[in-house]
Each structure stands twice: as C-alpha cells, then as structure tokens.
Amino acid sequence: MKERGISPIIATVLLVAMIFVIGLIVFLWFSGMTEETITKFGGTNVKLVCDDIQFQSDYSSGTLGIVNIGNVPIFGMRVKVFSDGNYATKNLKDDLSENWPNLGLNQGGAFLDTIEFAGVEKIILIPVLMGTSDEGEKTFVCEERYGYEITIE
C-alpha cells in the first residue's frame, strides 16, 4: 500500500498564504482602532477643545439665536431634533438655514434666523469645530454632552 500526502511545495504555499491572510487581518484590525488626530490651536487635540466651547442659544416665536460667548470659534452646528419619540440629526447650515456664516461664529459672533420647528418637542444644538489633520482641514462634531438643549413650546 502506498500512502500519499500533500506535496511539500503545496503545503508551503498554503502555509505562506495562511500567514499572509492572518497578518492582513491583524493589520486591518489595528488600523481600524487608531483614528486620525485632528488638532486645533497649535497642536491641541480637538476633542479637548470641546471642553472650552461656550455658547448661548434661544428659540422664541420661530426665531433661533446663537451667540458664541467663548474663545473657541464654532465652525458649524449640528441640530438633533426630537419629535414623536424619535429624533433626526441635521446640519444647521445645510439643512435648516442659509444664513449661517461661512467661517462660523468667532468669539462674540451671533447668528439669528427664522427656523420653523413644527411638531418638535426639543432640539439639542451640538457644536462643530474645524481643525487640521495630516490630510488638511477637517470638521469635528463634539459629543452631545457639549450641546445646548432647547425645549420647543
């Protein structure tokens, strides 16, 4: 009786292919865990700059007003709109108003526009910052805890 097995060349090719696939999986896994750092103000991580944002907002008779009272320029504003137990997230500049300043709200800057929130229970205004990365300028949306909640009556 002759016993036959896999030839050494085929076994070596399969072994190298398996090692290559495992290495690729590990590489993609690790690269997905690291995110690109966006910085502001000469190297400060933009996530830390969100702590320094200070703004006030008010909504009355269909008019939304926002004033930047801090030292951090606010590039944009994300609006989380709650109605009927659900929510939708919109950009203030692109979806709700054409009057948001192109360069955002600098220190002491103000925004005022008529925006109708019919059937809405509340909104949360979440600041968006502009920072720099290796690829150039990028926007960064702060966490919701840095937002400003307004109850719509």
- Pair of tokens at residue 18: 């398996």
Candidate from 31-40, 54-63, 74-83, 135-144 with smallest mean pLDDT: 31-40
- Pair of tokens at residue 138: 């990028």
Q: Is 20 a member of any domain?
A: no
Q: Is 110 a member of any domain?
A: yes
> Residue 92's closest CA among 113, 71, 108?
113
Residue pLDDT, tens place only, 50-98: 888 999 999 888 889 999 998 889 999 999 999 888 899 999 888 888 8
Rounded-to-10 torsion of CA 82, 88, 92, 97? -90
What's the domain range around 142?
Answer: 39-151
Domain tally for the chain? 1
> Residue 147's closest CA among 62, 60, 50?
50
Q: Is 44 a member of any domain?
A: yes
Taking the complete model, does pTM exceed 0.85, yes or no? no
Which CATH number belongs to the domain containing residue 91 in this structure?
Answer: 2.60.40
